[in-house]
């Protein structure tokens, strides 16, 4: 698989803004997923999760029947994930990108200065200096010709200096299904966590309906991250700044 040649975002300064009069909401961009095929590319920008709220109310700001609210913007479309404490048909909604707050205003900051962490010494030094880090994971499905680069800030990094080993664990990210083409492409996305400890493979765990067994034989279904799997991938780690 060829090397990744995409300049990273500076996630500390990347936002999606709106200027609607009823709510000029600003979302922090938490990851970027670039989906590529023979016809071009589309970027999906996954924003940070918040809780359902009674916006601008004088009191009782959180809704009683609460859920996680997470939007992903991409091209002409937007997908909103609403995770309740139970399965609901509202978990996933695709709409036009302007439906909720009008046209999005993309304030995406490219990293001005970054360094590829190509060996253990560079990785360990950047980690111990407290530099922000970004990971990029490239995956390709040869049968469909679809390819993706998943980029995100590294939130958790495990290291063992004596063995000179590391492990990245970060999420959520927007992970597309590369097994077939979706129309619109945003329909291909699921929320996932990514982990890797080598340059050539990555493990994922996807949020999906999951059975929870309780005491006395009771059971219920919720949306939860489950059924991990591994994929051949090319992983790249970068530090932002010096």
Q: pTM score, two decimals?
A: 0.95
Per DSSP, 102 falls in state: S
Q: Read off the pLDDT of residues 105-132 as tens digits, 9 standing for 90 and up.
A: 999 999 999 999 999 999 999 999 999 9
Share the mean pLDDT of the chain.
95
Reported as type and span, the H/E element at residue 128 is helix 120-128
Q: For residues 73 and 97, what is the distance between their CA atoms, to the nearest angstrom? A: 7
Instruction: Specify the length of the chain in residues.
Output: 242
Give the pLDDT score at 200: 97
Q: For residues 72 and 184, what is the distance between their CA atoms, to the nearest angstrom? A: 13
Residue of 237 and 38 predicted with greater confidence: 237
Domain boundaries, the chain: 11-107, 114-240
Joined together, the tokens standing for residue 55 give 């916006």
Distance of CA 32 to the CA centre of its chain: 6
CB within 8 Å of 185: residues ≥ 6 apart: 35, 42, 74, 75, 77, 176
């Amino acid at each position: 698989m060829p090397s990744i040649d995409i300049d990273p975002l500076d996630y500390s300064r990347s936002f999606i803004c709106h200027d609607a009069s009823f709510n000029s909401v600003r979302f922090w961009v938490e990851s970027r997923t670039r989906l590529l095929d023979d016809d071009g590319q589309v970027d999906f920008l996954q924003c940070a999760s918040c809780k359902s709220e009674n916006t601008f109310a004088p009191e009782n700001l959180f809704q009683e029947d609460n859920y996680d609210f997470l939007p992903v913007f991409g091209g002409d479309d937007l997908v909103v994930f609403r995770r309740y404490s139970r399965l609901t048909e509202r978990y996933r909604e695709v709409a036009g990108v302007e439906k909720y707050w009008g046209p999005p205003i993309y304030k995406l900051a490219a990293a001005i200065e970054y360094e590829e962490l190509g060996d253990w010494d560079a990785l360990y030094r950047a980690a111990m200096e407290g530099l922000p880090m970004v990971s990029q994971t490239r995956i390709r499905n040869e049968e469909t010709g679809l390819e993706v680069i998943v980029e995100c800030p590294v939130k958790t990094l495990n290291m063992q200096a004596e063995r000179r080993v590391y492990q990245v664990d970060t999420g959520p990210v927007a992970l597309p299904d590369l097994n077939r083409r979706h129309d619109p492409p945003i329909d291909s996305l699921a929320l996932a966590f990514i982990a890797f400890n080598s340059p050539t493979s990555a493990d994922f765990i996807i949020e999906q309906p999951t059975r929870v067994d309780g005491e006395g034989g009771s059971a219920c279904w919720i949306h939860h991250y489950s059924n991990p799997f591994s994929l051949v991938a090319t992983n790249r780690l970068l530090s932002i700044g010096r």
